[in-house]
Structures are given as structure tokens and as C-alpha cells.
């Protein structure tokens, strides 16, 4: 058992007090101004004083310089507690009482061999945990192995699929204490922070919940559809939706390639109801055979959906010698292929989605992954000249392309006949 000596009188916010108990894992997540970093910095200084000889490592996924680490924060805590005589601050480390040490590493710099250098460390503190990769967690956990060793983590959640969230929030270990904290839990909240918070609330509503309230990021700053999604949330248009059995369904595809490293294949399922566009479901996969998506449509009762494919839907598959259109028709689906929209197609899709913004309703549960992609889809920029270079082609662009195809082919069904009309692909301006 680790022997603790002496005491330090450090004021602790009530929200963090559970983390003072004994546990293998201690984690805190939440938004800006919640004092997570200050708490962990204070707790680390306290551990080093009360357990002489403590060896601790502060980790980030990427650490190019020590300025990016919490070293300066720890130095300020040591001075504010009047403990300068007990610690020695060097350029790259801090020597602690009893010949202990605090070092600062980037996990991307470690290999399976080099990580073994941390085996004698009792405490590992993960900073900015939202950036920590699955690989880094897998390397770190068995390495910090001393009796009663601890792994701490603090982060502002970004995506539900991030490694840190999956480990601590989706499938937390039994020997973990995890707390959520936000600005309201900070007893030292001040006017400067309050003005910053209110400024973001007024001017950057699309990112406010993520930055200050610790919610997952629904839209990223600079993304094409950030404001559109934020407004949909504010107006209650991201909610529970049901399929209307009397109206047609349409499934809009963006076709990926074959193999594990191919582009993703994405499908949005929609219904047009009056002046509303009901976005009912979303499917995405990489390297799956076509049968996977056919089975997904059937499993979710979308067998009567008209499959709307991009222009490459009529390209011949090198393996089967048939087109996507032919394969889907053989599976019993009605299929329409949208002709190549030519130069400027991506920009046209973006503007079409923006025009339809107020008409879009999303089924909250089934479209979350697709909305994550739409919320990230952004412009690629030349940082030297600060000019836009068009949409960035990344993991989010395939969902955005399929959704954009729905937008550019949309025609409001103003009469019963138009509910069942075949698509003519003539974009219609929407007020």
C-alpha cells in the first residue's frame, strides 16, 4: 500500500471530491472553465509531496514542445502552495521530493519498445484526452503497472467514438471514478470567463454547447453546415421521427470503393412531407459488399425506397461485370441515376443544402453519425494566403455528397401527384 505523509490544505471544488478517493482510474470531462486541469495539477503536486519518490508522467497524444504540456501550470501550483524548496524545476522535467520526477511526453513518439521506459511510473496523467488514440491507450494501460498505480485523464468531449470516451464513458472499468464538470461547478468562476462564455453563446451558438457545456461536437467551427445544424437543434427539428407508410421513400447514395482503405459508401433515407424534408436514417460503411447495404435497407423496412445513385452508379464493376444500378434492380429496388453535374457540383450541393435548411427535420437517434459528418464537412484552406480551396475530401465528404444530391434534386411535392413523381434532377430554388 502506498504510504502518504503530511498534509496540504488545498481547496477542492465539490464536483471533484469523488476523485480524491482511491481508484486505478480517475477521469473528469466537461467544457471550458470547469477547472479540470487545475484540479489534476493540484492533485499531482499533492501526491508528490505526500508520497515522496513519486514518478509521474504527463501525456498528450502529440507534444511538439513543452509549451504544449501542463509543465507551466504545475510550476505555478508549486509556487502558489509555497513548495518551491521541495521541487527542482528543470527545462524538461520537475524533480519531486524523495528523488521522484515528473516528465512530459507525447504518446505518438512512443513505440511498443520505448513505452517500457514508463514501467516504473506510478501516475500517468492524460491531458487533452479527446485527442488520445486507441493505440495510445492500449500501449499505456499495461505499462503503468506498479501496485496502486493510477491513470488520470481530463478532456472536453468531441465525438462519441473517440477512444477516451469509449473507455471511460461507454464501457468504463469497474475501478474507475469518472465525473462530469462544467463552468457552473467552478467555485472560482469570474467575470472574465463569464464574458467569454456569453460572447460565444451570442456569436458562436453552433459550437457553444461543445466548448462550454461539454457536449459532443455537433458542428465544427468553419464547417459549411455548422449554423444549419445548430439552428435545427434550437428549433426542435432534431427529434423522433416516424416513417409515413403512405408516402414514398428515397435512399440517396454516395458510392465508395472496394477494400478496407476505400472511400466510405453512405446512404441517407428521406421522405418529403409537404414542405418538410424528413431525414429518417443514415448508413455508412467501408469496404463492404453491396449485399451489406441491401440487407440494411431490407432490415429497416426500406425495401420500397427508390435508390438514387450518383453518376458512377452506371459504371461497370470490375469483379461482377454489372453496374450498381443493375445489382440493385436485381435485388428488387427501383433505381434512378443522377447525371454528372459537372464543374462546380460540390459548391452547388452545398448551396442547395443551405437553401433547404429550414425544411430539414432529422430523426435524432438514427442520423447521429451522418449529422456528425455534416457538422465536420468544411473548406480546405491555403494557410499561407488565407484563401479557400473548396471542400476538403475527407471522412465527412461522402455523407455530405449523398446529402447534397438529395438537395439538388429536391422538388417540393405540392400536390398528391408530385409525391410519386420521378426525379428530373432540375434544381429548384427554395425560399
Q: How confident is the model at residue 8 (pLDDT cuts 50, 70, 90)?
A: confident
Least confident of 92-106, 287-301, 386-400: 386-400
pLDDT one-digit tens code per residue, 79-116 = 999 999 999 999 999 999 999 999 999 999 899 899 99
Q: Which residue has the cell 521541487?
A: 87
Q: Among residues 144, 167, 185, which one ends one of the domains?
A: 185
Neighbours of 17 (CB within 10 A): 10
- Verify that 150 and 73 share a domain, yes or no: yes
**CATH value at residue 251:** 3.30.420.280
More confident residue, 322 or 262: 322
pLDDT one-digit tens code per residue, 129-163 = 999 999 999 999 999 999 999 999 999 998 888 99
- Verify that 248 and 367 share a domain, yes or no: yes
**CATH value at residue 68:** 3.40.50.300
Entry pTM = 0.68
More confident residue, 280 or 429: 280
Q: Are strands 150-155 and 25-30 parallel, antiparallel or unpaired?
A: parallel
Structural domains counted in the chain:
2
Separation CA 5–CA 84 (nearest Å)? 18
Full residue range of the structural domain in which residue 29 is found? 14-185
* pLDDT at residue 428, as a whole number: 43
Query: Is residue 195 included in any domain, yes or no?
Result: no
- Verify that 253 and 125 share a domain, yes or no: no
- Verify that 274 and 413 share a domain, yes or no: yes
Of the candidates 309, 336, 324, 274, which has an alpha carbon nearest to the alpha carbon of residue 405? 309
- Verify that 177 and 275 share a domain, yes or no: no
Cell of 388: 479557400
The most confident of the ranges 7-11, 39-43, 272-276 is: 39-43
How far is C-alpha 344 from the geometric centre of its chain's CA atoms?
Answer: 29
Query: Is residue 9 included in any domain, yes or no?
Result: no
- Verify that 166 and 31 share a domain, yes or no: yes
Cell of 398: 461522402
Contact yes or no for 374/254 (Cβ under 8 A): no
- Verify that 43 and 174 share a domain, yes or no: yes
* pLDDT at residue 7, as a whole number: 66
Query: Is residue 410 included in any domain, yes or no?
Result: yes
- Verify that 291 and 164 share a domain, yes or no: no
- Verify that 157 and 253 share a domain, yes or no: no
Query: Is residue 137 included in any domain, yes or no?
Result: yes
Contact yes or no for 74/102 (Cβ under 8 A): yes
Query: Is residue 197 included in any domain, yes or no?
Result: no
Query: Is residue 55 included in any domain, yes or no?
Result: yes
Query: Is residue 227 included in any domain, yes or no?
Result: no
Contact yes or no for 374/367 (Cβ under 8 A): no
> In the chain, pLDDT over 90 holds for what percent of residues?
69
Mean pLDDT of 183-199: 96
Query: Is residue 243 included in any domain, yes or no?
Result: yes
- Verify that 157 and 248 share a domain, yes or no: no
List all residues 6 or more positions away from 372 whose beta carbon is below 8 Å from its beta carbon. 159, 218, 396
Mean pLDDT of 367-391: 79
- Report CA dihedral (155, 159, 165, 169) to the nearest 10 degrees: 110
Distances (CA, A) of 12 to 40, 41, 48, 195, 335: 11, 12, 17, 24, 62
Amino acid at each position: 500500500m502506498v504510504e502518504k505523509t503530511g498534509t496540504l490544505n488545498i481547496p477542492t471544488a465539490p464536483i471533484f471530491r469523488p476523485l480524491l478517493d482511491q481508484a486505478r482510474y480517475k477521469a473528469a470531462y466537461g467544457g471550458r472553465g470547469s477547472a479540470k486541469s487545475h484540479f489534476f495539477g493540484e492533485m499531482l503536486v499533492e501526491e508528490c509531496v505526500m508520497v515522496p519518490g513519486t514518478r509521474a508522467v504527463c501525456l498528450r497524444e502529440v507534444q511538439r514542445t513543452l509549451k504544449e504540456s501542463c509543465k507551466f501550470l504545475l510550476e505555478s501550483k508549486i509556487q502558489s502552495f509555497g513548495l518551491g524548496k521541495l521541487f527542482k524545476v528543470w527545462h524538461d522535467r520537475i524533480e519531486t521530493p524523495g528523488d521522484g520526477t515528473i516528465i512530459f511526453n507525447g504518446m505518438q513518439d512512443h513505440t511498443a519498445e520505448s513505452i517500457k521506459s514508463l514501467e516504473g511510473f506510478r501516475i500517468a496523467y492524460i491531458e487533452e484526452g479527446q485527442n488520445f488514440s486507441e493505440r495510445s491507450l492500449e500501449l499505456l494501460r499495461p505499462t503503468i503497472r506498479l501496485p496502486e498505480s493510477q491513470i488520470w485523464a481530463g478532456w472536453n468531449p468531441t465525438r462519441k467514438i473517440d477512444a477516451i470516451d469509449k473507455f471511460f464513458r461507454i464501457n468504463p472499468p469497474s475501478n474507475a471514478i469518472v465525473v462530469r464538470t462544467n463552468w457552473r461547478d467552478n467555485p472560482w468562476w469570474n467575470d472574465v470567463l463569464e464574458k467569454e462564455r456569453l460572447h460565444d453563446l451570442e456569436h458562436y451558438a453552433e459550437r457553444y454547447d461543445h466548448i462550454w457545456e461539454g457536449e459532443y461536437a455537433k458542428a465544427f467551427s468553419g464547417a459549411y453546415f455548422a449554423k444549419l445544424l445548430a439552428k435545427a437543434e434550437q428549433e426542435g427539428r432534431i427529434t423522433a421521427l416516424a416513417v409515413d407508410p403512405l408516402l414514398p421513400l428515397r435512399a440517396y447514395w454516395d458510392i465508395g470503393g472496394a477494400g478496407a482503405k476505400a472511400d466510405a459508401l453512405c446512404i441517407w433515407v428521406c421522405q418529403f412531407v409537404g414542405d418538410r424534408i424528413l431525414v429518417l436514417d443514415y448508413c455508412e460503411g467501408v469496404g463492404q459488399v453491396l449485399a451489406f447495404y441491401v440487407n440494411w435497407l431490407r432490415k429497416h423496412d426500406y425495401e420500397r425506397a427508390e435508390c438514387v445513385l450518383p453518376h458512377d452508379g452506371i459504371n461497370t464493376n470490375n469483379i461482377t461485370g454489372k453496374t450498381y444500378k443493375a445489382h440493385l434492380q436485381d435485388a428488387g429496388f427501383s433505381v434512378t441515376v443522377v447525371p454528372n453535374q459537372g464543374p462546380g457540383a460540390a459548391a452547388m450541393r452545398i448551396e442547395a443544402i443551405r437553401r433547404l435548411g429550414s425544411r430539414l427535420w432529422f430523426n435524432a437517434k438514427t442520423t447521429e453519425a451522418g449529422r456528425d459528418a455534416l457538422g465536420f464537412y468544411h473548406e480546405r484552406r491555403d494557410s499561407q494566403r488565407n484563401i479557400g480551396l473548396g471542400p476538403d475530401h475527407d471522412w465527412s465528404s461522402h455523407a455530405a455528397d449523398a446529402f447534397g444530391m438529395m438537395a439538388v434534386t429536391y422538388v417540393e411535392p405540392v400536390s398528391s401527384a408530385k409525391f410519386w413523381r420521378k426525379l428530373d434532377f432540375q434544381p429548384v430554388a427554395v425560399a
